[in-house]
Amino acid sequence: RLILCDALTYVERFKPAAVIDIATLTGACVVALGEVNSGLFATDDELAAELLRAAALAVDPAWRLPVQEDYQEQLKSNFADIANIGPPGKAGAVIAACFLARFTKAYKWA
């Protein structure tokens, strides 16, 4: 996750319109969705819709999961500027995506 965060920060210098990464984040997506749908996190509704359409055309279904401010509270840390993991058993994949989203403000991200 930290290396992916570095990559998402580095790519900003190239001023991309959008960045799409493929990552497992945690096993929490499998717990939430099983092995039928892939989890999709996106900071932009249009990009998310485009990716969901592509997934459907490829017969590789995906389901969008939230990336929203309400989860940012769980990234507070007494030891660092920001935690990169939330409390055990509490929306692990969502928290991971919310952590990464903090580093993608300059472009659309999924």
How many structural domains are present in the chain?
1
| Phi, psi for residue 56 in degrees, rounded to 5 | -65, -45
What is the extent of the structural domain holding 99?
2-109
Please determine, for residue 99, whether its predicted confidence score (pLDDT) is greater than 80. Answer: yes
Coil/strand/helix, residue 62: strand
Convert the pLDDT of each residue in 22-75 to its tens digit: 887 668 888 889 989 999 999 999 999 999 999 999 999 999 999 988 887 778
Rg (CA), the chain: 14
Amino acid at 92: G
Please determine, for residue 10, whether its predicted confidence score (pLDDT) is greater than 80. Answer: yes
Mean pLDDT (the chain) is: 90
- Short-list 67, 16, 68, 18, CA closest to 47: 18
This prediction has a pTM of: 0.87
How far apart are the C-alpha atoms of 24 and 3, rounded to whole Å? 13
Residues in Cβ contact with 32 at an 8 Å cutoff, skipping those fewer than 6 apart:
39, 65, 93
Output the pLDDT for position 25: 67
How far apart are the C-alpha atoms of 15 and 33, rounded to whole Å? 33
Output the pLDDT for position 90: 82
Share of the chain above pLDDT 90, in %: 55
